[in-house]
Amino acid sequence: MKKLILFILLCCSSFLAVAQEIKIIDKPIIYDSTRIRLSLEYLKQRHGIEQETPTIQPKIIVLHWTAAKTFSSTFNAFNPSKLPNGDRKDIATVSSLNTSSQYMVDRDGTIYRLMPDNYFARHVIGLNYCAIGVENVGSADFPLTDAQLKANEDLVRYLQKKYKIEYLIGHYEYTKFKGTPLWKETNPNYQTGKTDPGVDFMRRIRTNLKDLALKGIPAQ
Ligand SMILES: [Zn+2]
């Protein structure tokens, strides 16, 4: 019961804190007791972190693209707490927690928040425990738009201020954290190949956010 009250309080305070600075639409995916249990399991088994609430202390923002063409198709894919049976065999063996992301940006630049942004989401191996994920509707064949670039810039600025974010990376860069203190994954062979959200998108957003002095991949 205590946990449930704490969860509701955290949700409310976090939802209220948004909305004031940039336009964010709350469109929550299911974050029920199953998702909480599987997130706590993931934190413990994969990241080696034991805690009572599925919260994170964000240090890294990871930008993604969805590889699906519509907001709703990705929303529907993220919505169940568990990976659907038979889906994503490459990642299902290590946890049945479904993938998700704290934010998703549609083609027109609309920013949707899918859960409180200090809640655990499975979107980047080794770093989920300290990373906020921002999905963008698009793919290599369906390049991200200027409106998405602007929305990502605004969102990074907002989150950097809120959490003192240190790193901004594209998903394709995540394996560069291997061997650094930030990397926490119990199986050294567990990784997947990624290209999102594209080198060009990262180059452009880094140019536009130069004043924030965010770090990219760590020095090896
Ligand atoms: Zn990704």
How does pLDDT run across 54-113, given as a tens digit for each residue?
Answer: 999 999 999 999 999 999 999 999 999 999 887 777 788 889 999 999 999 999 999 999
* Dihedral (CA of 119, 123, 127, 133) sign: negative
Taking the centre of ligand 1 as the mean of its atom positions, its distance from the CA of residue 4, in whole angstroms, is: 30
- pLDDT band for 217, please (50, 70, 90 cuts): confident
Q: How confident is the model at residue 166 (pLDDT cuts 50, 70, 90)?
A: very high
pLDDT band at 18 (very low <50, low <70, confident <90, very high): very low
Q: What is the pLDDT of residue 92?
A: 80
**Ligand 1 centroid – CA 198 distance (Å):** 10
Whether 50 is in a domain gets the answer: yes
The answer to whether position 199 is within a domain reads yes
Q: Is residue 153 part of a domain?
A: yes
Least confident of 13-27, 34-48, 50-64, 102-116: 13-27
Cα–ligand 1 centroid distance for 65 (angstroms): 6
Q: Residue 17 has what pLDDT?
A: 46
Q: How far is the CA of 101 from the centre of ligand 1 (A)?
A: 9
**Confidence (pLDDT) at 80:** 97
pLDDT of residue 49: 97
Residue 217 falls inside a structural domain: no
Residue 188: pLDDT over 60: yes
Of 10, 94, 96, the C-alpha closest to 52 is 10
Give me the percent of the chain exceeding a pLDDT of 70.
90
Chain mean pLDDT for the chain: 92
Mean predicted confidence (pLDDT) in 8-27: 66
Bigger pLDDT: 41 or 13?
41
How far, in Å, from the CA of 131 to the mean position of ligand 1? 12
pLDDT the model gives residue 152:
98
* Average pLDDT, integer, range 122-129: 98
CATH (domain of 131): 3.40.80.10
Domain count, the chain: 1
Residue 218 lies in a domain: no
Could you tell me which residues are beta bridge partners of residue 63?
134, 170
Question: 177: pLDDT confidence band, cut at 50, 70 and 90?
Answer: very high
Q: What is the pLDDT of residue 25?
A: 98
Q: Which domain holds residue 157?
A: 2-212
Whole-angstrom distance, CA of residue 212 vs CA of residue 174: 20
- How far is the centre of ligand 1, averaged over its atoms, from the C-alpha of 168 (Å)? 13
Query: What spacing in Å lies between the alpha carbon of 20 and ligand 1's midpoint?
Result: 28
- What is the pTM (predicted TM-score) of this model? 0.89
Question: Residue 19 falls within a domain, yes or no?
Answer: yes
Question: Bridge-partner residues for 61, per DSSP?
Answer: 132, 168
* 113 sits in which H/E element: strand 111-113
Compute the distance from residue 220 Cα to the ligand 1 centre, in Å.
22
List the 131-136 sheet strands across, edge first: 25-26, 111-113, 103-105, 131-136, 60-63, 167-170
Domain contains 28: yes
Residue 73 lies in a domain: yes
Please tell me the distance between residue 121's alpha carbon and the centre of ligand 1 in angstroms. Answer: 12
Ligand 1 centre distance from Cα of residue 100 (Å): 10
